[in-house]
Amino acid sequence: MEDFVWNNLSALFNLKGLARQYSLHHQVCDILAIDQSGQITIIELKNSIDRYIIQQLTRYFNAVVSQRPFLDQIDYQQPVRLIAIAPSFHAHNLVDQAYHQLSFELYTFAISSCNHGKLYFELRDSGAEQLIRLEIPEPFHPLIDRVEQHNTAQLAIAPAPPKSLANLLNALTQEQQAYVLSIREQLLEFDPAMIEVGKTTRTIYGLRKNKKDIYQTKLCAEIIPVALGVMRPRLRLQLPYLKRTLSRVSSDNSQKLVKGLTWVEVRHRREWDKTTAIQLLFYFGKGCSHHSYSLSLDEYSKVYQQLAGQYCSLQSLEDVMIVALEEWKA
């Protein structure tokens, strides 16, 4: 879809393309474009529902306005236009859009066909007031088939939790179980390459190696017992931390931050109670019985802001999950 939208920016939005897959401070924007007045537009494309697309565009907005790329072509006095294109949107997207300080344009797309074998790309705004219909050239047809297969796979019902996880859920209330399962859903929905593998008491999530195995160098999360013999779940994520600071040999004596990844337990003040504060417990080495130090979400936001080079405000476990997932994907 990205190739088709890029080739038809003028017909779809009256825009001219500037860059594709443009990287800014660990953020990769699908498309940057401008109109005749020099107003910049950030476009994010999804082939399936993504409940975090508003947050993703917010980070892209921050990266663009702080770094100001293509300064000779863009008028940064004008507001940044933010566009999301997906087959449909999650209810959370609409709530985020309604209460966000930034303005977002949400467009749904569909592929239609006629009796003559022609395919059409249909783009409709969230208010269903505007419909744009463009014929899709034949060279794009094989790509359309792959997208539709992917979307069909996304609609499949998530499998039941493995025994390793189900055993840990038994001791929780229904509300707590729902919270844990929502985290599992966030992990499995993020990318088709993310799989879940149940061990004896440990459930791990990471990059698919084969049907029943994960690359150990591409682990993202694990749900394990609170302690030996205590069958209640605790969540650990692979999160970035400030490993060390190196001084550069330069005229301004600037410093370089070195990032590392380590296991971090995400713990609510009251077990699996989303209304209570979160502490992040950092573990180094092979053991997981004793953590080295802990940070609040506010404290870790400042650390991650240093590492990412952009504003960061983590407010919930879902926000922390996004950091872990994007690091895993990088």
pLDDT of residue 139: 66
Task: Give the global pTM.
Answer: 0.57
Statement to judge: residues 281 and 186 lie in one domain: yes
Identify the domain containing residue 78 by its residue range: 2-154
Please tell me the total count of domains within the chain.
Answer: 2
The token pair that represents 200 in the structure block? 């004896």
Q: Which of 167, 41, 165 is nearest to 107 (CA)?
A: 41
Statement to judge: residues 189 and 322 lie in one domain: yes
Rounded to an integer, the average pLDDT of 229-256 is 74
| Euclidean distance between CA atoms 247 and 249, whole angstroms | 7
Statement to judge: residues 322 and 238 lie in one domain: yes
Phi and psi torsions of 29, nearest 5°: -80, 135
Rounded to an integer, the average pLDDT of 58-86 is 94
Statement to judge: residues 150 and 222 lie in one domain: no
Rounded to an integer, the average pLDDT of 177-206 is 89
Q: How many CA atoms, within 13 angstroms, populate the side-chain half-sphere of residue 163?
A: 2
Rounded to an integer, the average pLDDT of 270-292 is 87
Q: What angle do CA 243, 184, 53 make, to 5 degrees?
A: 75
DSSP annotation of 184 reads H
Domain edge (last residue) among 154, 189, 224: 154
Statement to judge: residues 175 and 299 lie in one domain: yes
| Euclidean distance between CA atoms 327 and 330, whole angstroms | 5
Domain edge (last residue) among 154, 189, 206: 154
Statement to judge: residues 217 and 106 lie in one domain: no
Statement to judge: residues 176 and 134 lie in one domain: no
- pLDDT tens-digit series, residues 296-327: 999 999 999 888 877 778 889 988 999 999 88
pLDDT at 160 over 80: no
